[in-house]
Each structure stands twice: as C-alpha cells, then as structure tokens.
C-alpha cells in the first residue's frame, strides 16, 4: 500500500463540534441560520473561521478581496499549490451545512495531515470565499469572482434594492474596493488543482443510495431583472379595461418562467424568485414592479433559446397590457464541467474507501465554477436529507459528512502526488 492509499479517518465529533460552534453565529432576528454577506454575524463567523484555521496550524491571511486564506506549507514551495475550501455565508433563512461543510471539512483534513506527520509536496491552500450566495446586487461568488479577475469596476456601481452601491458596501465591511478589484491571485500563480467538498442540495444521492457524488458539471445560470412600468391609478375607480397594471404583466412573466422550467431538459430549472412593487400602496394600481428570475441548466442550447423565448414572451404580454418592460440580465454564469482527472481521482478515492459513489451534475452554483478557468477543478458532494437546502431544514448526517471529508483527504493526497493534472473535462 502506498502512502496515498493509506486511509485517513476523520474524527466526526470534531467536525460536528465545529459545525455546532459556527452555527451558533447567526442573525438572531432572522429565520433559520442566517449569515448574509457583509452582515455583523458574517463578520463574527469569519473571525471564528480565521481563529480556527490558526488553531489547526494554518498560516492565515485575509486577501484584498475579503477571502480568509489559510496555507499549510508543502515540501516544495515552488510546486503549484492545491486549493480547497468553500464559503460560510448563508441565504436569508438558510441552513447550517451549505458551504460550511467544505470549509470545516478542509480544516479536518489539515488536522489529519498534521497529526499523521504527513507533509504534502505542495502548499495546501484553504479558502473561505467571501459572499458565495447571490445577493441583492445580483452577483454570487463575490470572493472567488474577484480572485479570478471576473469582478469588474462597473460591478461595484451596482445598487441593491435600497439604492446602496456594492462598492460602498465593501467599504462598510472594511474592504478597499480598489484592492478588491486588484486582488486577482488566481491569475498570478500557477495552481495544481481545486477540489471543493459540498452538500448536494438536491435529492439524487439519497435516492440512489450513494454516499459520494462525483460532480460532472456546474449548471450555467441566466439571471433576469425585469422592470415593468405601467401607470398608477386609483384602484377603486379606474375601470378594468383602462389600466396599465405592471403587477399583472409581472404575474404573466412569473408563469412564463415557470413554464420554461417545466419544459427544461433535466436537470434544467427556472424560478421567479422575487416580485417587488415599488409603490406598494394597497389601493393603487401597481405601476412599477421588478421581477427577479433565474434559469439554470447544463444544456447551453436550452439556456440560450430560453433566454430569447422568455424575453419575447414577457414583452408580448406586457405590451398587450400597455406596460413597458426593460430587461437586465444580471449574470450569465457559464456551464462549467469538472476536470475528468479530478472526477476520476474522487471516484477512485471513494471506491478505495468502500463508499458508493454516483456521477451527478450540480444545479447549484459554487465558487469552484470561478476557479475552473485557472486550474483543473472538481467537487465532492455528500447527500442532503430529502434534497432540502437553502432552508432551515437543510440536513446532512455527520457520518455522511465524515465520509465526504475522508474522500476529500484521500483525493487531495492523491492529487498532490500527481505531476500534472489534465484540465480536460471530456
């Protein structure tokens, strides 16, 4: 048995204890486990993560983009580094496992390496990426986007529903917006590979009785902000045939989005996520309504065709109601396949550990998608109970998390030992 074949047994109780501590840091006045980007609980949680990284023996820094970065030095400082990690922000009313499992799992890997006296050839870089969840500025994965050089100056001028500039929000969080844009470390140093452990957030692994998901691709996303402008009128006196009701136009759009999702090739989906009436008086015909919607899939042709069809459908319905509509496609996350070399390495590690695995696509997006242009990328999924996620009921058994950490540890050691990883996704 070679060094990389020897099993590392994660200590489930340690991971569970970390999870419990981190889960305790949340917004008390929000449902579920809420730690939204730039919030005070999020700031506290990341201080906790930095301290925990230090306590397991990582050299810790905050990069200019707001990511918490811990490095476990390898034997050959010149060798391209291996990167792992995830995020610790949550959606409003979210759960305890989305993102945190990848960060805390990586810390357990570091403990196992140090306790066994194993020094990797390469540096192991553990990252808690800033603000992975989508936000009111319509941009997910803030930290990984920035280090990949994908965050643009004009993105900092985006405004949220309350009119606040994204750049000002960064500054309020103690980050210099110019430094955020300049922090492009992914583009400046060669990396060996990126591997992220994450909960599946969907039902496939549970349905198929698999402990490990080998992620084949991360779905692409088209996000739409449609603004409907009608005419305000007295809701009690304006006759029905003489209205320009923006809410009705938005309602048609909600159903159009839903129809597109129902007709999508699996695992494609489409969701209208927000409808906001900017005047919201209870007795006024709605005149200014904003709709947010998103479509996801791993079929580029479907995504492109749906975008066009949907815009035409929404426009036609709005015109028939005398309502103007403008479209702002706020992000276009491309479909990102995982590297074949890393998929194979994860599958081999799972098989060696006697863990049943399945190849699955990811409907959720991840920081991994923004690492992929810069190094071979792969992801390991662990099952989500009943496929629930982005809600307080989100749950993954600690034994399943420990199995995922074992696959993460074994795969990272195997990747470390390989000379060159092929980024090829075929």
CB of 371 to ligand GLV, least distance (A): 15
144 binds ligand GLV (CB under 6 A): no
- Tell which one of 32, 64, 70, 99 touches Mn ion (CB under 5 A): 99
**Number of residues in the chain:** 426
Q: Residue 133 CB, nearest distance to ligand GLV (Å)?
A: 6
By C-beta, is 228 or 381 nearer to Mn ion? 381
134 binds ligand GLV (CB under 6 A): yes
Q: Does 140 bind ligand GLV (CB under 6 A)?
A: yes
Q: Is 109 in the site for ligand GLV (CB under 6 A)?
A: no
Query: Which lies closer to ligand GLV via its Cβ, residue 124 or residue 219?
Result: 219
Dihedral of alpha carbons 60, 132, 338, 147, sign: negative
Contact 123, 77 (CB under 8 A): yes
Nearer to ligand GLV, 98 or 410 (CB): 98
**Residue with Cβ nearer ligand GLV (67 or 365):** 365
Unique residue bearing structure tokens 């006697």: 354
Residue 82 near residue 412, CB atoms below 8 Å: yes
Bridging pattern class, strands 288-297 and 357-362: unpaired
Comparison of 200 and 410: residue with beta carbon closer to ligand GLV: 200
Kindly list the distances between the CA atom of residue 180 and the CA atoms of 160, 177, 185, in Å, as whole numbers in the listed order.
19, 5, 11
- Residue 333: beta bridge partners? 221
Alpha-helical regions (H) of 126-220: 142-147, 166-172, 177-182, 204-208
Q: Do 320 and 239 meet the contact criterion of CB atoms below 8 Å apart? A: no
Q: Is residue 49 a contact partner of residue 22, using CB atoms and an 8 Å limit?
A: yes
| Piece of the chain touching Mn ion by CB under 5 A; list 9-17, 60-68, 97-105, 141-149 | 97-105
Decide: 37 and 135 in contact? Cβ < 8 Å: yes
Q: 134 contacts which partner out of Mn ion, ligand GLV, none, CB within 5 to 8 A by kind? A: ligand GLV
How many C-beta atoms surround the C-beta of residue 27 within 10 A? 18
Q: Which stretch binds ligand GLV (CB under 6 A): 132-140, 226-234, 349-357, 407-415?
A: 132-140
What span, in angstroms and rounded, lies between the C-alpha atoms of 393 and 391?
5
34 touches ligand GLV (CB under 6 A): no
Number of residues that bind ligand GLV (CB under 6 A): 5
Between residue 354 and residue 383, which ones bind ligand GLV under the rule CB under 6 A?
364-365
Q: Does 135 bind ligand GLV (CB under 6 A)?
A: no
What six digits make up the tokens of 161? 């529903």
Closest distance of CB 138 from ligand GLV, Å = 12
Binding-site ranges for Mn ion (CB under 5 A): 98-99
Binding-site ranges for ligand GLV (CB under 6 A): 133-134, 140, 364-365
């Amino acid at each position: 048995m070679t060094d990389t074949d020897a099993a590392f047994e994660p200590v489930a109780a340690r991971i569970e204890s970390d999870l419990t501590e981190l889960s305790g840091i949340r917004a008390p006045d929000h449902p579920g486990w809420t730690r939204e980007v730039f919030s005070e609980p999020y700031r506290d949680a990341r201080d906790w993560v930095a301290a925990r990284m230090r306590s397991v023996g990582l050299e810790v820094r905050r990069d200019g983009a707001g990511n918490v970065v811990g490095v476990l030095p390898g034997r050959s400082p010149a060798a391209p580094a291996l990167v792992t990690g995830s995020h610790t922000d949550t959606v409003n009313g979210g759960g305890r496992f989305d993102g945190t499992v990848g960060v805390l799992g990586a810390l357990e890997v570091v403990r196992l390496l140090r306790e066994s006296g194993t020094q990797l050839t390469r540096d192991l870089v553990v990252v808690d990426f800033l603000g992975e969840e989508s936000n009111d500025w319509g941009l997910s994965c803030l930290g990984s986007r920035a280090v990949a050089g994908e965050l643009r100056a004009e993105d900092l001028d985006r405004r949220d529903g309350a009119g606040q500039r994204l750049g000002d929000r960064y500054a309020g969080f103690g980050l210099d917006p110019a430094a955020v844009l300049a922090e492009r470390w992914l583009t400046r140093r060669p990396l060996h590979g990126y591997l992220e452990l994450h909960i599946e957030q969907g039902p496939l692994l549970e349905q198929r009785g698999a402990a490990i998901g080998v992620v084949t691709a991360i779905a692409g996303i088209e996000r739409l902000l449609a603004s409907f402008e009608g005419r305000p009128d007295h809701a009690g006196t304006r006759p029905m045939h003489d209205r320009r009701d923006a809410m009705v136009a938005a309602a048609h759009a909600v159903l159009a989005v839903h129809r597109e999702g129902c007709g999508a090739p699996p695992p494609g989906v489409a969701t209208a996520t927000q409808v906001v009436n900017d005047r919201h008086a209870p007795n006024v015909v709605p005149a200014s309504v904003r709709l947010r919607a998103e479509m996801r899939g791993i079929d580029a042709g479907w995504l492109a065709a749906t975008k066009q069809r949907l815009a035409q459908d929404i426009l036609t319905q709005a015109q028939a109601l005398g309502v103007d509509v403008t479209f702002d496609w706020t992000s276009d996350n491309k479909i990102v396949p995982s590297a074949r070399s890393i998929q194979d390495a994860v599958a081999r590690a799972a098989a060696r550990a006697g863990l049943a695995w399945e190849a699955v696509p990811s409907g959720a997006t991840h920081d991994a998608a923004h690492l992929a242009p810069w190094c071979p990328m792969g992801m390991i999924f662990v099952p989500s109970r009943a496929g629930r996620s982005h809600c307080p009921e989100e749950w993954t058994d600690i034994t399943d998390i420990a199995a995922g950490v074992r696959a993460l540890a074994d795969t990272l050691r195997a990747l470390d030992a390989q000379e060159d990883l092929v980024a090829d996704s075929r």
